[in-house]
Amino acid sequence: MDDTLDAVIVGGGMVGAAVAAALGQAGMRVALVEGGAPPAAIPDDAPFDLRVSSLNLASRRLLEEVGAWSFIPESRRCPFRHIEASDATEKRHIRFSAVDLELPDFGFFVENRVIRRALWQRLAELPGVTTLCHAGPVAWVPGGHRSLLELDDGRMLATRLVVGADGAGSHTRELAGIATRDEDYGQRALITNVRTRLPQQDVSWQRFAPQGPQAMLPLPGHYASLIWYDTAEATLAREALDDEALRLAIEHAFPARLGGIEAVLGRASFPIRRRHAERYVRPRLALVGDAAHVIHPLAGQGLNLGMQDAEALSRRVITAFRSQQDPGGRAPLTGYARERRPQTLAMIAAMETFHHVFTGAAPLRHAGAAGMAVAERLEGAKRAVMRHALGL
Ligand SMILES: Cc1cc2nc3c(=O)[nH]c(=O)nc-3n(C[C@H](O)[C@H](O)[C@H](O)COP(=O)(O)OP(=O)(O)OC[C@H]3O[C@@H](n4cnc5c(N)ncnc54)[C@H](O)[C@@H]3O)c2cc1C
- Per-residue pLDDT tens over the stretch 259-291: 889 999 999 999 999 999 999 999 999 999 999
Assess whether pLDDT exceeds 80 at residue 372: no
Assess whether pLDDT exceeds 50 at residue 1: no
Q: Specify the range with the lowest mean pLDDT, choosing from 101-105, 109-113, 329-333, 381-385.
A: 381-385
Per-residue pLDDT tens digits for 124-180: 999 999 999 999 999 999 988 999 999 999 999 999 999 999 999 999 999 999 999
Q: At 94, which CATH number?
A: 3.30.9.10
In a domain, 68, yes or no: yes
Residue 113 CA to residue 121 CA, distance in Å, equals 12
Classify strands 212-219 and 203-209 as parallel, antiparallel or unpaired: antiparallel
Per-residue pLDDT tens digits for 71-113: 999 999 999 998 888 887 777 778 888 888 889 999 999 999 9
Residues 103, 126 within the same domain: no
Tell me the residue type at 207: R
For residue 207, give its domain range: 79-110+185-273+362-389
Q: How far is the CA of 116 from the centre of ligand 1 (A)?
A: 10
Residue nearest to ligand 1 atom 20, measured at CA: 303
> CA-CA distances (angstroms) from residue 141 to 46, 58, 156, 273, 311?
44, 35, 10, 31, 26
Average pLDDT of 28-35?
98
**pLDDT at position 210, please?**
81
Please answer whether residues 8 and 157 qualify as being in contact, where contact means their C-beta atoms are separated by less than 8 angstroms. Answer: yes
Q: How far is the CA of 380 from the centre of ligand 1 (A)?
A: 33
Classify strands 203-209 and 52-56 as parallel, antiparallel or unpaired: unpaired
**pLDDT at position 369, please?**
59
Residues 34, 84 within the same domain: no
Residue with the larger pLDDT of the pair 314 and 301: 314
Residue 123 CA to residue 67 CA, distance in Å, equals 9
Residues 31, 68 within the same domain: yes
Residue nearest to ligand 1 atom 51, measured at CA: 297
In a domain, 120, yes or no: yes
Assess whether pLDDT exceeds 50 at residue 318: yes
Residue 95 CA to residue 382 CA, distance in Å, equals 9
Atom of ligand 1 nearest to the CA of 291: 26
Q: How far is the CA of 107 from the centre of ligand 1 (A)?
A: 19
Q: At 45, which CATH number?
A: 3.50.50.60
Residues 228, 344 within the same domain: no
Average pLDDT of 248-260?
88
In a domain, 170, yes or no: yes
Atom of ligand 1 nearest to the CA of 11: 34
The average confidence (pLDDT) of the chain is: 90
Residues 211, 154 within the same domain: no
Per-residue pLDDT tens digits for 210-239: 888 899 999 998 999 999 999 999 999 999
Query: What is the tally of structural domains in the chain?
Result: 2
Residue with the larger pLDDT of the pair 98 and 355: 98
Per-residue pLDDT tens digits for 54-65: 999 999 999 999
In a domain, 1, yes or no: no
Residues 146, 92 within the same domain: no
Residue with the larger pLDDT of the pair 21 and 205: 21
Q: How far is the CA of 287 from the centre of ligand 1 (A)?
A: 13
Q: Please, what sign has the CA dihedral across residues 352, 357, 358, 359?
A: positive
Q: How far is the CA of 13 from the centre of ligand 1 (A)?
A: 6
Residues 123, 234 within the same domain: no
Residues 96, 191 within the same domain: yes
Question: What are the phi and psi torsion angles at 143 (to 5°)?
Answer: -150, 180
Residues 204, 59 within the same domain: no
> CA-CA distances (angstroms) from residue 356 to 213, 296, 351, 365?
12, 12, 9, 9
Per-residue pLDDT tens digits for 91-100: 777 888 888 8
Distance, CA of 9 to chain centre: 18
Atom of ligand 1 nearest to the CA of 136: 42
**pLDDT at position 383, please?**
66
**pLDDT at position 74, please?**
93
- Quick one: pLDDT band at residue 386, thresholds 50, 70, 90? low
In a domain, 2, yes or no: no
Residues 66, 106 within the same domain: no
In a domain, 15, yes or no: yes
Mutate to test the pocket of ligand 1, among 151, 166, 230 (most ligand atoms within 8 A of CB): 166
Residues 134, 257 within the same domain: no
Residues 22, 104 within the same domain: no
Residue nearest to ligand 1 atom 16, measured at CA: 303
Mutate to test the pocket of ligand 1, among 8, 15, 192, 267 (most ligand atoms within 8 A of CB): 15
Residue with the larger pLDDT of the pair 389 and 182: 182
Measured from CB, residues less than 6 Å from any atom of ligand 1 are: 10-16, 33-36, 53-54, 112, 136, 165-167, 171, 189, 191, 270, 289-290, 297, 300-304, 306
